Structure 1
Amino acid sequence: MAGLTHAELLEHCLRKPGAWLDQPWEDDTVVKVGPKIFAFLGGPDTGSVALKCGATRAEADEWLARYPDDATASAYTGRYGWNRLRLDGAIPRDELLEAVDGSYAAVVSRLPARERPAG
């Protein structure tokens, strides 16, 4: 089954150890671990999520090649391996959830040890 709702995405993000919801910009929701964002959710009507999809732009471009209609390089952060993925397109639900997990893991791995969540 393809697709994921905004509510399901948010619930999955917040189940991660140390994850918390923030709204640093008006009507723009993000999920952080420690002080760092691992998912840009936007508002409930956004229909997409921006995630760290690779350590480099070249790695993240694999998403664009596989899902040209549903993945784009993120504005501002794209050069650092962030992509915006559509929630209701051709990207399978399991792959969207794995992308969230990968983004979380990438961000946690770069946190100083004292800021990493237990678990």
Structure 2
Amino acid sequence: MDFPQLLTYCLAKPGAWQDEPWEGDIVAKVGDKIFAFLGGTSIGLKCGRTREEADELVRVHPGEVTASAYIGRYGWNSIELGGKITVDELCELIDQSYDAVVSKLPKSKRPTG
């Protein structure tokens, strides 16, 4: 899955929109919260409620999944693209990140649909 396909997949989620909060850094948001950091060779996703939960994916895919810089302690991981992680698994991880972020939004900011 390449960058345009990843972005398209993320933006197909209800209420999702593209932002560039820092020059050259594309993110996918729902409401006012980021659910995917889209880089050239990796994607950052919420992979657990805690670092311990997110570390399970790091254990399963050593070298391809690492704790995200700065926000890793909150359950965010960086996932290298083009490795052994399948497209289906990557889509599932995006779905889980989106769902985790939506669940934390106030009801008034949650997308309908």
TM-score computed with the length of structure 2 as normaliser: 0.98
Aligned residue in 2 for 1:24: 21
CA RMSD of aligned residues (A): 0.6
Q: Map 1:36-115 onto structure 2 (within 5 A).
A: 36-42=33-39, 46-115=40-109
Q: How many residues align?
A: 113
Aligned residue in 2 for 1:13: 10
Distance 2:92 2:81 in 1: 13
Which amino acid is the alignment partner of residue 25 of structure 1? W
Matching of residue 118 in structure 1 with residue 112 in structure 2: yes
Distance 1:17 1:113 in 2: 14
Report how far residue 7 of structure 1 moved. 1.0
Is there any run of 5+ residues in structure 2 with no aligned partner, and where? none
Distance 2:74 2:110 in 1: 21
Aligned residue in 1 for 2:30: 33
Report how far residue 69 of structure 1 moved. 1.5
Report how far residue 93 of structure 1 moved. 0.9
Report how far residue 116 of structure 1 moved. 0.2
Is there any run of 5+ residues in structure 1 with no aligned partner, and where? none
Task: Provide the secondary structure at the position in 1 that maps to 2:35.
Answer: strand
Task: State the identity %.
Answer: 59
Deviations 1:4-24 (CA, angstroms, capped at 9, x unpaired): 111111010000000000000
Which amino acid is the alignment partner of residue 61 of structure 2? Y
Distance 2:27 2:4 in 1: 13
Deviations 1:25-64 (CA, angstroms, capped at 9, x unpaired): 010000000000000003xxx2110000011111100111
